[in-house]
Amino acid sequence: MTGALFETGTRLSAAVAEALPSGAPAEEGGWGRLFSVEWGLSVWTLLTFGTLLALLARYAWKPLMAALDARERSIQSDIDEAGRQRDEAEALLAEHREQLAEGRRRAQALIAESREAAEELRRQLEEKAREEGRAIIASARREIERERDAAIAQLRREAVDVAMAAASRLLEERIDGERDRRLVMDYIDELSLSGEGGAWQ
């Protein structure tokens, strides 16, 4: 930009120099004129340059600096927004990680609770099976006791009948009375109590 200003100032100076009358004759080859100082041209060149510089400072530099400031503010705003978004992303990532950790903790707690519930159910089922087994065994024992008592009673009745039949043959008379049957039963009970009739129990 400075080069363009300098070139514009040079052109204006040349135009002014051509417009002014020159009192010195042109030298052959133009080398003397090239290195000679013309104070009028220099003044007009400096004046033109100063004017252009003042115009640019008033009308070009301020908008240019304003544009640069606006661009700088825009870039800084973009940097701040990027930083804010980065902070938000980091916060979301931390929250996501915390949620994952909480989910893992809950899953582990549920697994532990399920295992404890399954173990408790297994213990309850085993205890119930034991109780049912004991009840079945007790019922079977009671049934065996009843069957045994019934068999012993049947055996006693049959033994009484055999004894009465044998006694009737021995006595050659029939013993059939209820009193006689009761006497024989009492005798067998006495034998059982004294230990002599252990075979009937």
Residue 17 lies in a domain: no
Q: So what's the pLDDT on residue 191?
A: 67
Which stretches of the chain drop beneath a pLDDT of 70? 1-37, 165-177, 179-180, 191-192, 194-201
Query: What is the extent of the structural domain holding 170?
Result: 144-200
Q: So what's the pLDDT on residue 85?
A: 93
Residue 53 lies in a domain: no
pTM (2 d.p.): 0.35
DSSP string, 3-58: HHHHHHHHHHHHHHHHHS---SPPPGGGHHHHHS--HHHHHHHHHHHHHHHHHIII
Q: So what's the pLDDT on residue 158?
A: 77
Q: So what's the pLDDT on residue 24?
A: 44
Residue 82 lies in a domain: no
What is the number of structural domains in the chain? 1
Q: So what's the pLDDT on residue 4?
A: 55
CA atoms of 95 and 36, how far apart (whole Å): 81
Strands, E, within 53-108: which ranges?
A: none
Q: Do 175 and 167 form a contact (C-beta atoms < 8 A)?
A: yes
Q: So what's the pLDDT on residue 79?
A: 93
Assigned token pair, 110: 């549920």
